[in-house]
């Protein structure tokens, strides 16, 4: 059965890159451009993994991770946080919110795919 990945990323180029790379690896991908509809989409598609941009225009990705972890339907889905703003203490703060993985942008394809595969349920 094909694993499904929800990609929440407001930057069109990054979203397309993530989705193209994941599809090329055989994953089913559901792209979301804004944080406002992210959790509703997650509930609707029941992904195996959520890739979450942290800097979204309408809501913080950290807040979305916290909300997902408090939602019974989403709490067990691993979240890979991806952010361009990788400052001191950011990874720890993002992981405390509930992210299972963390990558800083720009993201290289090999580490990205290795992290995705590590986080997906086997």
Q: Which pLDDT tens digit goes with each residue over 85-104?
A: 777 888 999 999 999 999 99
Give Cα 108 distance to the centre of its chain. 15
Q: Which residues contact 47 (CB under 8 A, 6 or more apart)?
A: 4, 5, 6, 30, 77
CATH of domain 4-119: 3.40.50.2300
Tell me, what's the pLDDT at 82? 96
pTM of the model: 0.96
């Amino acid at each position: 059965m094909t694993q499904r990945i929800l990609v929440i990323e407001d930057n069109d180029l990054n979203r397309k890159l993530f989705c193209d790379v994941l599809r090329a690896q055989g994953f089913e991908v559901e792209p979301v451009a804004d944080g406002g509809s992210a959790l509703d989409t997650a509930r609707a598609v029941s992904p195996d993994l959520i890739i979450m941009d942290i800097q979204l225009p309408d809501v913080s990705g950290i807040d979305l991770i916290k909300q997902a972890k408090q939602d019974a339907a989403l709490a067990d889905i691993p979240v890979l946080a991806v952010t361009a703003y990788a400052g001191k203490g950011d990874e720890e703060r993002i992981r405390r919110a509930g992210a299972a993985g963390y990558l800083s942008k720009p993201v290289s394809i090999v580490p990205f795919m290795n992290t995705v595969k590590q986080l997906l349920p086997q």
